Structure 1
Amino acid sequence: MEFIRNLPFIGIFLCMSTGVINSVLDGKWAKKVSFTVITANLFMSILVLYYVWQTKQSYIYVMGHHPAPWGNEIRFGILEGAFATFFCLIMLLSVLGGVKRLEEDISEKRSNLYYVLVNLLMAAILALTYTNDLFTAYVFVEIMTIGACGIIVIRGEGRSLLASVKYMIMSLLGSGLILIGLTLIYDLTGHLLMSNIQEAAQQLVKSGQYQVPFTSAIALISVGLAMKSALFPFHSWLPDAYTYATSASSAILSSLVSKAYIFLLIKIYYRVIGLSIIFQNKILNILFLFGIAGMIFGSLSAIRQDDLKKMIAYSSVAQIGYIYMGIGLGTTAGMLAAVFHIMSHAASKSMMFLSASGLSQVSGRSCNYRKLIGAAHRNRIAGFAFLVGAFSMVGIPMTAGYISKVYFAQAAIQAPYQFKMIITVITLGISTILNAVYFIRALIVIYQPLKGQKQGADGRRDFRMAVALWALVVTNLFLGMHSDAVVDLLRAGLRMFC
């Protein structure tokens, strides 16, 4: 069993080294190697999760067996194991479901480079999940920035080029703020390991020294990661990036990249700053207000769209607002709701972007509503997956999104400030109504029958997409119908996360 403690490092190293290997392989072999590595990481993450669940304690793996400040640490517990498993599963299904469209959108000469980027992103996601060192986290934040920009621009079209430039500008601004914040924290505490920083931070708070620079560091890191995860009003890069990237890239960006940044932020709040300090900090109130604004603005923008992928993209702005609203409540219940919604949204959005690709395939490769009339009859699997995803986003019972909204409502009732409770409950109601407006409109369009069309004629052409969509549907419904077990797992993970 001791060998299992090496698996988080092995998984990260395997993804990084595979990225190098894929650069000299052709596209077909690079694809096989990437799928093998992601699948191997999925199984290793399951073993890690099982191990920590059985032992009920977290573990620290010291890379190189040298203690701080010379060595580097990986720390893993229940929450890290659960999210590593979930992230690997969504990555595998996102790439699997988008393979056919990927082969159409990207030239064969560049296809191996796409899998290089996928492996770098997988390594970065796992590293941000497991790392116990702030500087290592920053390094992999930058690796993920490069990888995310690459999977947008690799399509090579004008709009994807512009989208990648927007993404890079906003992401580099966020990176700059994060780096300044980390520099301030290192200057104030003299540490980079998260557990050591927390001890020093508690001493600073007790002594009352350097409160302004310490608060500024927290604010800079929070805003930097908010920009990278597309929290309103820092979301300007998101619609184009999600819309004009190939379907696998859209699924990865919406379900994994933005969520990994939020997971890192939660880790910093728990393990670097400390809950007792962060819950008393006014920065959470700002995140709360931005989250509330994002829930409304994202939904209103989605209503105005005539392109299905852009509508789904703006819906992501609203759903990211939900997560930050939960964090901004400043309670353990709010954090739990936010963490569950990370999973809920990831399972739903990857499914929706892949199903949108399937619907467009049988509609002249267009996502415009006028071309999508009756598309769910021409591709029944994609139509059903979109239906389940839409129900989840609206909050229909038995879906993951319904459970998210229940936990957000419960967290709002337990909020220590009445104004947060009132604002949260009202906004949840308004956002749900707005979600229903644009998703019902989309469902009416894709299920509207056209005279003379062949029912289901083109729905079975892409077997790999069908497998991915069915797996995502099952994942979403599992989160919705067996939420108690998942929430108990996440609650135990959060207790161990400190």
Structure 2
Amino acid sequence: MRPFIENFPFFSIFLAILAGILTATIRSGRAAYWVTIGVCAASAVLNAFVLEYTYLGDLSFTYTMGRFLAPYGNAIKCGPLQALLTTVFSLVMGTSLAGGRRDLFQDILPQKQRLYFVMVNMILASLLALTYTNDAFTGYVFIEISTIAACALVMAKDNGPNLIATIRYLFMSLVGSGLFLIGLTVLNSITGYLLMPSLSEAVEGLKVTGDYAIPLTVSVGLITAGLGVKSAMFPFHLWLPDAHGGATTASSAILSGLVLKGYIVLLLLMILRVFSLELIVELGAADVILAFGVLGMIFGSLAAMRESHIKRMLAYSSVAQIGYIFMGIGLGTVEGLVASCFHILVHACCKPLLFLCAGRLSAVSGHHKSLKNLRGSAYRDVGAGLGFTVGALSMIGIPLFGGFVSKLYFANASLPTGMTAMTLLTIALSTVLNALYYVPALLAIWVKPPAEDEAAVLADVHAGELAFDQAFTAADILLVAAIFVLGIFYHPITDVIEAGVRLI
């Protein structure tokens, strides 16, 4: 008989979907908020138990859904890596909602608030399903669910620029979805399967015989391009700054820290479970991913340097950080994938922290977003100033912070590839560029402006904005602690990732 704990991944997905249905029937936005927070907490606990079970047992397991067995039907597969990712995603989702609660209830009309949480729960269900799925078509279904829900999160702050940003986001997302679906259709037509283990066997057979070489290459290219578009791989990132920069604080944190990662995780699953690293390298797809990753690291940072709008600066920074993840994948080694997975965790903690703190610093500065109007804002909310500082130093790559460990692992991953010099040069250049926009931002929030400028800013601040925000402070502390854990006690985490990649 199956151990009861092996039901937990399915329970967590089902619970998020059920919560989406429940919040649609609740009239109170605040009640829907607490239901969603509870679901995030429950999901984190369930997946934490699964993490302990799979890592200590050094195992992965498949959970078949429905009455149709392989090679048909539907299934999810869980190992240490998937359990770790879903635990972190659930925790970060909850902290993002808590940290951005005040802005959320101010920016969204009361009659629409419950619908906002319907979409949040659908995004959580999508993240869990994309991480756990063992069926490629189920991955496509939840890609579309995630797309629709993410668009709703962008346009929840109902104004003209956000509606335009949503349309642009939707258009690019549909292009990505279409490319993925066409690639999956081609793959299904030459293999006859959709379950990943069966696809893997069929692809391995095609590699041996040499049959359908061109359709297989086209399929790899389309699936990679589709998921690259959806995860803001350079140069398909132009939709991201407006969408992430204009949304309400909680939405920006969720979109940048979590939603993009779901598509990358699905790409990792397709590479490891279906195509294999060897095939990706042989077809040249790894080189293309590496090139776009490196370009994203550089040009994303250059674009961020030109921004004075703090949230748009953070959005362009996400392009650079996504570039790091794709660079690791493009190295075509297990070590590169481990580094990429670790950076997914680092970015999932750092970027929501930065967006939450930026939102809070903006709120205590009359809701101004430009850096010149945020001067001295860290003194109006010291917790937000310290949180932004920790997140920025981690993204730059200062030792003791999570971002430093990521860069260290990327450098180590390049050693067996023969591209060490290029990788180290790119990481060094990107680090310098990161510092060139994060350091001025830190100086802006910590350097006090002249008295007359301070008075002009404070004149726009409502008294309630300066009040202590318990939910934000709790989220701030949790994410700061996570960054230090990733930067100091990283060996157990990388051990879990390495075991997860091996068992995937």
With the length of structure 2 as denominator, give the TM-score of the two structures.
0.96
Note the C-alpha offset of 1:460: 5.3
Q: Secondary structure, in 3 states, of the residue corresponding to 1:75?
A: strand
Work out the CA distance in 2 between the residues paired with 1:385 and 1:192.
44
The structural deviation recorded for 1:58 is 0.6
Deviations 1:413-464 (A, max 9, x none): 221xx3x332211111111111111111001100012355699x97652110
Aligned to 2:23: 22
Match of 2:240 in 1: 238
1:327 match: 329
- The share of aligned pairs that are identical, in percent, is 44
Does 2:499 correspond to 1:492? yes
Partner of 1:129: 131
Paired residue for 1:396? 398
The offset of 1:280, in angstroms, is 2.2
Partner of residue 32, structure 1: 34
User: 1-side partners of 2:171 and 2:421: how far apart?
Assistant: 36
- Look up the match of 2:426: 427
Q: Which residue of 1 aligns with 2:468?
A: 461
Q: Which of 214, 228, 231 is residue 230 of structure 2 equivalent to?
A: 228
- 1:360 is displaced (CA, Å) by 0.1
The Cα of 1:76 is off from its aligned counterpart by: 0.3
- Quote how far apart the aligned CAs of 1:36 are: 1.2
Range moving further from structure 2, 352-361 or 423-432: 423-432
Match of 2:484 in 1: 477
Give deviations 1:285-306, integer Å, cap 9, x for gaps.
Answer: 0111111111110111111111
Deviation string 1:187-208 (CA, Å, 9 cap, x unpaired) is 1111110011001100000001
**2:151 aligned residue:** 149
Name 1:447's counterpart in structure 2.
446
- Could you tell me which of 69, 78, 81 is aligned with 1:79? 81
Structure 1 residues 261, 115: CA separation in 2 closer, same or farther (over 3 Å shift)?
same
C-alpha distance 70-289 of structure 1, shift in aligned 2 (>3 A) = closer
Distance in structure 1 (CA, Å) of the matches to 2:467 and 2:230: 37
CA distance in structure 2 between the partners assigned to 1:69 and 1:275 by the alignment: 23
Alignment of 1:59-458 (within 5 A): 59-415=61-417, 418=418, 420-450=419-449
Letter in 2 for 1:164: T
In structure 1, the residue matched to 2:8 is 7
State the Cα distance separating 1:139 from its structure 2 match: 0.3
Partners of 2:222 and 2:475 lie apart in 1 by: 38
SS in 2 for 1:478: helix
Tell me how far apart the structure 2 counterparts of residues 311 and 225 of structure 1 sit (CA, whole Å): 23
1:414 is paired with a residue of what secondary structure?
helix
- Structure 1 letter corresponding to 2:322: I
What is the alpha-carbon distance in structure 1 between the residues aligned to residue 67 and residue 486 of structure 2? 39
Amino acid in the other structure paired with 1:54: L
Flag the 1:321–1:369 CA change in 2: closer, same or farther, 3 A.
Answer: same
Query: How far did 1:70 drift?
Result: 4.8
C-alpha displacement at 1:259, in angstroms?
0.6
Residue identity in the other structure for 2:99 = G
Give the TM-score, by structure 1 length: 0.97
Q: Are 1:333 and 1:414, in contact at CA under 8 Å, matched by a contact in 2?
A: no
Give the 3-state SS of the residue equivalent to 1:113 in structure 2.
Answer: helix
- In structure 2, how many angstroms separate the alpha carbons of the residues matched to 1:91 and 1:113? 17
Of 51, 57, 60, which aligns to 1:58?
60
Q: How large is the RMSD of aligned CA atoms in angstroms?
A: 1.4
Residue type of the partner of 2:415? Answer: I
Shift in Å, 1:8? 0.9
CA contact (8 A) 1:460 1:466 kept: no
CA contact (8 A) 2:281 2:287 kept: no
**Mapped partners of 1:33, 1:206: distance in 2:** 52
Give the drift of 1:274: 1.7
Amino acid corresponding to residue 26 of structure 2 in structure 1: L
**Deviation per residue, 1:460-480 (Å, 9 max, x gap):** 521101110110000011000
Distance 1:405 1:111 in 2: 39
AA matched with 1:6: N
- 2:290 maps to a residue whose letter is F
Give the whole-Å Cα distance in 2 for the aligned partners of 1:55 and 1:411. 27
Q: Please tell me whether the aligned partners of residues 380 and 459 of structure 1 are also in contact (alpha carbons under 8 angstroms).
A: no
Query: Does the 8 Å CA contact 1:42/1:88 hold for their aligned counterparts?
Result: yes
How many residues matched? 493
Q: CA deviation at 1:18?
A: 1.4
Structure 1, gaps ≥5 residues long? none
How many angstroms apart in 2 are the aligned matches of 1:363 and 1:111?
25
Residues in 1 aligned to 2:77 and 2:487: alpha-carbon distance in whole angstroms: 29
* Distance change (3 Å), C-alpha of 1:122 and 1:293: same
Alpha-carbon shift at residue 315 of structure 1 (Å): 0.6
Which ranges of structure 2 fall in alignment gaps of 5 or more residues? none
Contact map agreement 2:72 2:193 (CA 8 A) in 1: no
In 1, the alpha carbon distance for the partners of 2:386 and 2:473 equals 11
Residues 36-83 of structure 1: per-residue CA shift (max 9 Å, x gap): 111111110111111111221111111124313552111101111110
